[in-house]
Structure 1
Amino acid sequence: MSVIIVFLLVIAGFAGWWLSHQRLMTKPWLEQGMAGDFVALDRSALPTAKIGLGVFLAVVGCLFALFTSAYFMRMELSDWRALPVPRLLWLNTGVLVLSSVALQCASVAARRGQIENVRLGLATAGLTALAFLIGQITAWRELTADGYFLTSNPANSFFYLITGMHGLHIVGGLVGLGRTSAGAWNGARPERLRLSVELCAMYWHFLLFIWLAIFALLAGWAATFIDICRQLLT
């Protein structure tokens, strides 16, 4: 239960930080200037697509928080045998970081109207995301080759379940990234393209955060952190 609370607090912190930058607390009746300027600003400050994506990511965060809580509860039973974390996951993590950085660069380029840099960033993000998925499948094959099958142990089942769910969300992100890339190459309107790239970057940064939390969980660092917090609170 404490794991869920900590995870939800982190998600709430990110959501609060993001919403604080969306002019939700502005008072337009106290602003000075042309009324049309503030109407346009308020309409563009918080697009409906960003609100929808934010809600979706909050739901996804709760889903992985439940997985994490179940992981911690299940590992306390006597039949739990933690499997070794493949070294390839370190490389996969670096690749996903690069993918997220590429999308951030594409987002900055979209705001500046640099279409060539947008295309480069989108292509880099897509290729590195595919490399991440291939690396995850390779890590699975290495584990099964060493005898760590899905049904051999509860720890194995959780490993494949959590990493598989994260991989499915990456695949879903690639669909959206493909549509955005098609718009970048087919001459989409700058405003629409900018929003699409920002949504992709927002989704990718979130998946990177989720993966870092998963990696810490599977490597045992999260359990150590929770134990330290419990000792400090007792």
Structure 2
Amino acid sequence: MSIVLVFLLAVALVAGWWLSQQRLTSKPWLETGAGPPASDRPEIPTAKIGLGVFLAVVGGLFALFGSALVMRMGYADWYQVRLPDVVWVNTAILVLSSVLIHIAVGAARRDETAQLQAGVAAAGVSTLAFLGGQLLAWRILIDSGEPLAAHPGASFFYLISGLHGLHILGGLVALARTGARLWRGEESRRVRLGVELCAIYWHFLLIVWFGMLALLMGWASDVVALCRTILT
């Protein structure tokens, strides 16, 4: 439950920051002179607001799974899954994919079409490699005697990594649509928003992946125990 509370606190902080940028606390009846021109006020595209709401829902879902995982670890029959080495290779690939799409955002802002196309294509290929690596990790676990129903630790790994993979697939569909617009000859500035949305989504899923790995490997529990020791 503490994981859910931490996530809700993070969402509240982000929402508070966003509202503070919208001049909702301003008192125009007390202001003198002409107000700032509308063009000087930052406007957040509706698509970004919608993505933010969607990510809050997805983050809440993963937070619930994380909370269930932490509670399940307290039972006597808990057995930590032995993650194959390919999982760490996959993690590096996912980091690379996030970096590549971030580079593509920079190219879109500079209106460099060739570099943008290369960045989008490279991000897509590396993300497909990540998904292929995850399937390989499942295959290795099954061959080593840890299928889905082997023990709770393995079950949580299959469930969480599968759910994460489905969200990655959804992001690939959006990235493919953006890439198709680029290859049809649309200008970089016209697809800039789509690339930025994909980058936000990729960075979010990367953070989720790190969080889930920390829970599955027991690192989060070790950090909490260390903090409690320091505080007491």
Residue 97 of structure 1, aligned match among 91, 95, 98 = 95
Q: Which residue identity lines up with residue 81 of structure 2 in the other structure?
A: L
Task: Quote how far apart the aligned CAs of 1:120 are.
Answer: 0.8
Residue 140 of structure 1, aligned match among 138, 141, 144 = 138
Corresponding residue for 1:65?
63
Task: Quote how far apart the aligned CAs of 1:230 are.
Answer: 3.7
Distance 2:21 2:149 in 1: 50
Distance 1:132 1:7 in 2: 26
Per-residue displacement from partner, 1:27-66 (whole Å, max 9, x unpaired)? 697799998xx43454x72000000000000111110000
Distance 1:10 1:112 in 2: 32
Task: Quote how far apart the aligned CAs of 1:107 are.
Answer: 0.7
Question: How do residues 16-165 of structure 1 correspond to structure 2 at under 5 angstroms?
Answer: 19=18, 23-25=21-23, 38-40=37-39, 42=41, 45-165=43-163
Deviates further, 158-167 or 221-230: 221-230
Question: How do residues 178-197 of structure 1 correspond to structure 2 at under 5 angstroms?
Answer: 178-197=176-195
Q: Percent identity?
A: 51
Q: Contact 1:23–1:45 at 8 Å: present in 2 too?
A: no
Distance 1:40 1:175 in 2: 34
Q: Contact 2:112–2:188 at 8 Å: present in 1 too?
A: no
Question: SS of the residue aligned with 2:194?
Answer: helix
Pair 1:9 & 2:9 matched: yes
Q: TM-score, normalised by structure 2?
A: 0.89
Per-residue displacement from partner, 1:113-155 (whole Å, max 9, x unpaired)? 1111110110011001000000111001000000001112111
Question: SS of the residue aligned with 1:45?
Answer: coil
Task: Quote how far apart the aligned CAs of 1:207 are.
Answer: 0.5
Q: Which residue identity lines up with residue 93 of structure 1 in the other structure?
A: T
Q: Which runs of 5+ in 2 are unaligned?
A: none
Corresponding residue for 2:209?
211
Q: Contact 1:11–1:61 at 8 Å: present in 2 too?
A: no
Task: Quote how far apart the aligned CAs of 1:164 are.
Answer: 0.5
Distance 2:60 2:191 in 1: 29
Distance 1:41 1:186 in 2: 33
Residue 223 of structure 1, aligned match among 213, 221, 224 = 221
Q: Which residue identity lines up with residue 58 of structure 2 in the other structure?
A: V
Q: Which residue identity lines up with residue 170 of structure 2 in the other structure?
A: G
Distance 1:232 1:32 in 2: 55
Q: Which residue identity lines up with residue 126 of structure 1 in the other structure?
A: G
Task: Quote how far apart the aligned CAs of 1:12 are.
Answer: 4.3
Distance 2:194 2:230 in 1: 44
Give the aligned CA root-mean-square deviation in angstroms. Answer: 2.5
Q: Which runs of 5+ in 1 are unaligned?
A: none
Distance 1:86 1:12 in 2: 37
Corresponding residue for 1:166?
164
